[in-house]
Structure 1
Protein backbone atom coordinates (compact mmCIF):
# COMPACT_ATOMS: atom_id res chain seq x y z
CA UNK A 1 0.00 0.00 0.00
CA UNK A 2 1.51 3.27 -1.10
CA UNK A 3 0.27 6.55 0.24
CA UNK A 4 2.45 8.70 -2.00
CA UNK A 5 0.46 11.29 -3.89
CA UNK A 6 -0.10 10.81 -7.65
CA UNK A 7 1.97 12.84 -10.09
CA UNK A 8 -0.93 15.23 -10.76
CA UNK A 9 -0.64 16.46 -7.20
CA UNK A 10 3.10 17.09 -7.37
CA UNK A 11 2.56 20.84 -7.72
CA UNK A 12 0.53 21.14 -4.53
CA UNK A 13 2.09 22.21 -1.25
CA UNK A 14 3.98 19.81 0.96
CA UNK A 15 1.35 20.34 3.67
CA UNK A 16 -1.39 19.35 1.20
CA UNK A 17 0.53 16.23 0.17
CA UNK A 18 0.94 15.18 3.81
CA UNK A 19 -2.76 15.87 4.43
CA UNK A 20 -3.77 13.69 1.48
CA UNK A 21 -1.37 10.93 2.52
CA UNK A 22 -2.83 10.92 6.04
CA UNK A 23 -6.36 10.78 4.62
CA UNK A 24 -5.48 7.87 2.32
CA UNK A 25 -3.75 6.00 5.13
CA UNK A 26 -6.65 6.57 7.55
CA UNK A 27 -9.10 5.30 4.92
CA UNK A 28 -6.99 2.20 4.24
CA UNK A 29 -6.50 1.40 7.93
CA UNK A 30 -10.19 2.00 8.60
CA UNK A 31 -11.22 -0.29 5.74
CA UNK A 32 -8.98 -3.07 7.06
CA UNK A 33 -10.41 -2.62 10.56
CA UNK A 34 -13.96 -2.68 9.18
CA UNK A 35 -13.16 -6.04 7.54
CA UNK A 36 -12.18 -7.48 10.93
CA UNK A 37 -15.35 -6.07 12.50
CA UNK A 38 -17.62 -7.31 9.73
CA UNK A 39 -17.95 -10.79 11.26
CA UNK A 40 -19.14 -9.28 14.54
CA UNK A 41 -21.90 -7.29 12.87
CA UNK A 42 -20.45 -3.98 14.11
CA UNK A 43 -19.69 -0.87 12.14
CA UNK A 44 -16.59 1.16 12.97
CA UNK A 45 -18.78 3.76 14.72
CA UNK A 46 -20.60 1.12 16.77
CA UNK A 47 -17.29 -0.49 17.73
CA UNK A 48 -15.99 2.90 18.86
CA UNK A 49 -19.07 3.49 21.01
CA UNK A 50 -18.57 0.12 22.71
CA UNK A 51 -14.86 0.82 23.19
CA UNK A 52 -15.68 4.19 24.76
CA UNK A 53 -18.26 2.67 27.09
CA UNK A 54 -15.89 -0.12 28.12
CA UNK A 55 -13.33 2.51 29.08
CA UNK A 56 -15.90 4.60 30.93
CA UNK A 57 -16.57 1.96 33.58
CA UNK A 58 -19.77 1.16 35.39
CA UNK A 59 -21.18 4.68 35.70
CA UNK A 60 -21.87 5.02 31.99
CA UNK A 61 -21.87 8.13 29.83
CA UNK A 62 -24.39 10.52 28.36
CA UNK A 63 -24.99 10.69 24.64
CA UNK A 64 -23.06 13.98 24.49
CA UNK A 65 -20.08 12.54 26.35
CA UNK A 66 -19.96 9.58 23.97
CA UNK A 67 -20.19 11.90 20.96
CA UNK A 68 -17.32 14.01 22.28
CA UNK A 69 -15.08 10.95 22.55
CA UNK A 70 -15.80 9.39 19.17
CA UNK A 71 -12.90 9.21 16.73
CA UNK A 72 -15.09 10.41 13.87
CA UNK A 73 -17.87 12.75 14.82
CA UNK A 74 -21.28 11.19 14.33
CA UNK A 75 -24.16 13.59 14.76
CA UNK A 76 -26.57 10.76 15.52
CA UNK A 77 -25.13 8.99 18.56
CA UNK A 78 -28.69 8.18 19.64
CA UNK A 79 -29.17 6.08 16.50
CA UNK A 80 -25.91 4.21 17.20
CA UNK A 81 -27.03 3.55 20.77
CA UNK A 82 -30.46 2.38 19.55
CA UNK A 83 -28.83 -0.26 17.34
CA UNK A 84 -26.45 -1.37 20.08
CA UNK A 85 -29.28 -1.57 22.60
CA UNK A 86 -31.35 -3.74 20.20
CA UNK A 87 -28.39 -6.14 20.10
CA UNK A 88 -28.23 -6.10 23.93
CA UNK A 89 -24.72 -4.65 23.81
CA UNK A 90 -25.59 -1.49 25.77
CA UNK A 91 -28.20 -0.44 28.29
CA UNK A 92 -29.61 3.02 28.90
CA UNK A 93 -31.03 4.24 32.20
CA UNK A 94 -32.17 7.58 33.50
CA UNK A 95 -29.93 9.23 36.06
CA UNK A 96 -31.29 9.14 39.59
CA UNK A 97 -29.91 12.66 40.22
CA UNK A 98 -31.42 14.23 37.08
CA UNK A 99 -34.19 12.39 35.22
CA UNK A 100 -33.41 14.37 32.04
CA UNK A 101 -30.03 12.63 31.80
CA UNK A 102 -29.82 9.19 30.19
CA UNK A 103 -26.67 7.18 30.90
CA UNK A 104 -25.49 4.44 28.54
CA UNK A 105 -23.39 1.52 29.72
CA UNK A 106 -21.88 -1.50 28.05
CA UNK A 107 -23.47 -4.85 28.92
CA UNK A 108 -21.60 -8.08 29.71
CA UNK A 109 -22.51 -9.25 26.18
CA UNK A 110 -20.91 -6.06 24.80
CA UNK A 111 -17.79 -6.61 26.92
CA UNK A 112 -17.55 -10.20 25.70
CA UNK A 113 -17.87 -9.10 22.08
CA UNK A 114 -15.08 -6.54 22.52
CA UNK A 115 -12.93 -9.14 24.29
CA UNK A 116 -13.40 -11.45 21.29
CA UNK A 117 -12.23 -8.63 18.98
CA UNK A 118 -9.20 -7.60 21.05
CA UNK A 119 -6.83 -10.28 19.71
CA UNK A 120 -7.77 -10.02 16.00
CA UNK A 121 -7.50 -6.22 16.13
CA UNK A 122 -4.18 -6.39 17.95
CA UNK A 123 -2.90 -8.77 15.27
CA UNK A 124 -4.14 -6.41 12.55
CA UNK A 125 -2.50 -3.38 14.16
CA UNK A 126 0.80 -5.24 14.49
CA UNK A 127 0.60 -6.18 10.80
CA UNK A 128 -0.27 -2.59 9.83
CA UNK A 129 2.26 -0.74 11.99
CA UNK A 130 4.57 -3.19 13.72
CA UNK A 131 7.30 -3.00 11.06
CA UNK A 132 8.11 0.52 12.28
CA UNK A 133 9.26 -0.76 15.67
CA UNK A 134 8.68 0.90 19.05
CA UNK A 135 11.02 3.86 18.57
CA UNK A 136 9.55 4.95 15.24
CA UNK A 137 6.02 4.36 16.51
CA UNK A 138 6.72 6.70 19.44
CA UNK A 139 8.07 9.27 16.94
CA UNK A 140 4.94 8.95 14.82
CA UNK A 141 2.79 9.45 17.93
CA UNK A 142 4.79 12.53 18.92
CA UNK A 143 4.49 14.02 15.43
CA UNK A 144 0.76 13.32 15.30
CA UNK A 145 0.36 14.97 18.72
CA UNK A 146 2.10 18.07 17.34
CA UNK A 147 -0.19 18.11 14.31
CA UNK A 148 -3.24 17.67 16.53
CA UNK A 149 -2.17 20.56 18.77
CA UNK A 150 -1.64 22.81 15.75
CA UNK A 151 -4.98 21.74 14.30
CA UNK A 152 -6.81 22.66 17.51
CA UNK A 153 -5.35 26.17 17.21
CA UNK A 154 -6.89 26.51 13.74
CA UNK A 155 -10.39 25.33 14.42
Structure 2
Protein backbone atom coordinates (compact mmCIF):
# COMPACT_ATOMS: atom_id res chain seq x y z
CA UNK A 1 0.00 0.00 0.00
CA UNK A 2 1.34 3.42 -0.87
CA UNK A 3 2.15 5.93 1.80
CA UNK A 4 -0.11 8.96 2.16
CA UNK A 5 1.36 12.29 1.16
CA UNK A 6 3.90 13.76 3.55
CA UNK A 7 1.83 16.96 3.62
CA UNK A 8 -0.98 18.77 1.82
CA UNK A 9 1.46 20.80 -0.29
CA UNK A 10 2.87 17.60 -1.82
CA UNK A 11 -0.68 16.39 -2.45
CA UNK A 12 -1.58 19.73 -4.11
CA UNK A 13 1.53 19.55 -6.29
CA UNK A 14 0.66 16.06 -7.53
CA UNK A 15 -2.99 17.09 -8.01
CA UNK A 16 -1.84 20.00 -10.20
CA UNK A 17 0.43 17.75 -12.27
CA UNK A 18 -2.22 15.07 -12.80
CA UNK A 19 -4.97 17.61 -13.57
CA UNK A 20 -2.71 19.47 -16.01
CA UNK A 21 -1.98 16.21 -17.80
CA UNK A 22 -5.69 15.33 -18.05
CA UNK A 23 -6.65 18.78 -19.35
CA UNK A 24 -3.77 18.73 -21.84
CA UNK A 25 -4.86 15.30 -23.12
CA UNK A 26 -8.41 16.56 -23.59
CA UNK A 27 -7.23 19.55 -25.65
CA UNK A 28 -4.91 17.31 -27.72
CA UNK A 29 -7.89 15.00 -28.35
CA UNK A 30 -10.10 17.78 -29.76
CA UNK A 31 -7.27 19.24 -31.87
CA UNK A 32 -6.20 15.88 -33.37
CA UNK A 33 -8.92 15.77 -36.08
CA UNK A 34 -7.66 19.18 -37.27
CA UNK A 35 -4.10 17.83 -37.43
CA UNK A 36 -2.96 20.39 -34.84
CA UNK A 37 -0.99 19.95 -31.64
CA UNK A 38 -1.37 22.16 -28.58
CA UNK A 39 2.00 23.89 -29.23
CA UNK A 40 0.93 24.62 -32.84
CA UNK A 41 -2.40 25.94 -31.53
CA UNK A 42 -0.45 28.10 -29.07
CA UNK A 43 1.68 29.58 -31.88
CA UNK A 44 -1.39 30.36 -33.98
CA UNK A 45 -2.99 32.14 -31.01
CA UNK A 46 0.18 34.19 -30.42
CA UNK A 47 0.25 35.20 -34.08
CA UNK A 48 -3.46 36.05 -34.15
CA UNK A 49 -2.90 38.34 -31.17
CA UNK A 50 -0.39 40.39 -33.20
CA UNK A 51 -2.13 40.09 -36.59
CA UNK A 52 -1.67 41.72 -39.07
CA UNK A 53 1.83 42.43 -37.71
CA UNK A 54 4.67 39.95 -38.02
CA UNK A 55 6.23 38.33 -34.95
CA UNK A 56 9.84 37.24 -34.50
CA UNK A 57 10.56 33.59 -33.77
CA UNK A 58 12.28 34.74 -30.57
CA UNK A 59 9.11 36.49 -29.37
CA UNK A 60 7.00 33.45 -30.21
CA UNK A 61 9.37 31.22 -28.24
CA UNK A 62 9.24 33.57 -25.23
CA UNK A 63 5.42 33.56 -25.27
CA UNK A 64 4.99 29.79 -25.67
CA UNK A 65 3.26 27.96 -22.84
CA UNK A 66 5.74 25.07 -23.15
CA UNK A 67 9.14 26.77 -23.19
CA UNK A 68 10.82 23.51 -24.25
CA UNK A 69 8.95 23.37 -27.57
CA UNK A 70 11.07 23.46 -30.72
CA UNK A 71 9.51 26.62 -32.13
CA UNK A 72 11.33 26.52 -35.47
CA UNK A 73 10.20 22.96 -36.15
CA UNK A 74 6.62 23.81 -35.16
CA UNK A 75 6.65 26.82 -37.48
CA UNK A 76 7.93 24.60 -40.31
CA UNK A 77 4.96 22.27 -39.77
CA UNK A 78 2.54 25.20 -39.76
CA UNK A 79 4.15 26.54 -42.95
CA UNK A 80 3.67 23.17 -44.68
CA UNK A 81 -0.04 23.48 -43.86
CA UNK A 82 -0.08 27.07 -45.19
CA UNK A 83 -1.12 28.45 -41.78
CA UNK A 84 1.86 30.79 -41.42
CA UNK A 85 4.36 32.61 -43.60
CA UNK A 86 8.02 33.33 -42.89
CA UNK A 87 10.00 36.37 -43.99
CA UNK A 88 13.76 36.64 -43.54
CA UNK A 89 15.14 40.03 -42.62
CA UNK A 90 17.15 41.27 -45.63
CA UNK A 91 19.78 42.87 -43.38
CA UNK A 92 20.15 39.93 -40.97
CA UNK A 93 19.24 36.51 -42.38
CA UNK A 94 19.29 35.04 -38.88
CA UNK A 95 16.25 37.16 -37.98
CA UNK A 96 12.99 35.65 -39.18
CA UNK A 97 9.49 37.08 -38.78
CA UNK A 98 6.31 35.01 -38.87
CA UNK A 99 2.75 35.94 -39.78
CA UNK A 100 -0.52 34.01 -39.66
CA UNK A 101 -2.26 33.44 -43.00
CA UNK A 102 -5.97 33.53 -43.81
CA UNK A 103 -5.97 29.70 -43.71
CA UNK A 104 -4.28 29.90 -40.31
CA UNK A 105 -6.93 32.30 -39.01
CA UNK A 106 -9.67 29.99 -40.31
CA UNK A 107 -8.27 26.82 -38.73
CA UNK A 108 -7.65 28.72 -35.50
CA UNK A 109 -11.29 29.84 -35.43
CA UNK A 110 -12.42 26.23 -35.79
CA UNK A 111 -9.86 24.94 -33.27
CA UNK A 112 -10.73 27.67 -30.75
CA UNK A 113 -14.38 26.66 -30.86
CA UNK A 114 -13.49 23.03 -30.13
CA UNK A 115 -11.10 24.00 -27.34
CA UNK A 116 -13.68 26.35 -25.76
CA UNK A 117 -16.21 23.52 -25.77
CA UNK A 118 -13.69 21.12 -24.18
CA UNK A 119 -12.77 23.66 -21.50
CA UNK A 120 -16.43 24.27 -20.78
CA UNK A 121 -17.01 20.53 -20.49
CA UNK A 122 -14.05 20.10 -18.11
CA UNK A 123 -14.80 23.07 -15.87
CA UNK A 124 -18.58 23.36 -16.19
CA UNK A 125 -19.31 21.87 -12.76
CA UNK A 126 -17.17 24.46 -10.97
CA UNK A 127 -18.92 27.63 -9.82
CA UNK A 128 -17.81 31.05 -11.06
CA UNK A 129 -16.74 31.88 -7.52
CA UNK A 130 -14.59 28.75 -7.28
CA UNK A 131 -13.08 29.43 -10.73
CA UNK A 132 -12.12 32.93 -9.55
CA UNK A 133 -10.53 31.46 -6.43
CA UNK A 134 -8.75 28.77 -8.46
CA UNK A 135 -7.30 31.45 -10.76
CA UNK A 136 -6.16 33.49 -7.76
CA UNK A 137 -4.36 30.49 -6.25
CA UNK A 138 -2.81 29.45 -9.58
CA UNK A 139 -1.53 33.02 -10.04
CA UNK A 140 0.10 32.83 -6.60
CA UNK A 141 1.80 29.54 -7.50
CA UNK A 142 2.97 30.81 -10.90
CA UNK A 143 4.32 34.06 -9.39
CA UNK A 144 6.21 32.14 -6.70
CA UNK A 145 7.62 29.75 -9.31
CA UNK A 146 8.72 32.51 -11.68
CA UNK A 147 10.75 34.16 -8.95
CA UNK A 148 12.86 31.02 -8.43
- Structure possessing the higher relative contact order (Cα contacts under 8 Å, 6 or more residues apart): 2
Provide the residue aligned with 1:4 in structure 2: none
Query: Is 1:53–1:61's contact at 8 Å kept on the other side of the alignment?
Result: yes
Provide the residue aligned with 1:142 in structure 2: 136
TM score, norm. by length of structure 1: 0.88
**In 1, Cα distance between equivalents of 2:127 and 2:5:** 33
Count of residue pairs brought into register by the alignment: 148
**In 1, Cα distance between equivalents of 2:3 and 2:94:** 51
Name the CA shift for 1:46/1:75 in 2 (closer, same or farther; >3 Å). Answer: closer
Name the CA shift for 1:146/1:9 in 2 (closer, same or farther; >3 Å). Answer: farther
- Within the candidate set 8, 11, 16, 1:14 is matched to 8
Q: Which runs of 5+ in 1 are unaligned?
A: 1-6
Runs of 4+ in structure 1 displaced over 3 angstroms? 95-100
Name the CA shift for 1:99/1:23 in 2 (closer, same or farther; >3 Å). Answer: same
RMSD: 1.7
TM score, norm. by length of structure 2: 0.91
> Is 1:119 paired with 2:113?
yes
3-state DSSP of counterpart to 1:144: helix
Query: Is 2:39–2:69's contact at 8 Å kept on the other side of the alignment?
Result: no
Q: Which runs of 5+ in 2 are unaligned?
A: none
Provide the residue aligned with 1:34 in structure 2: 28
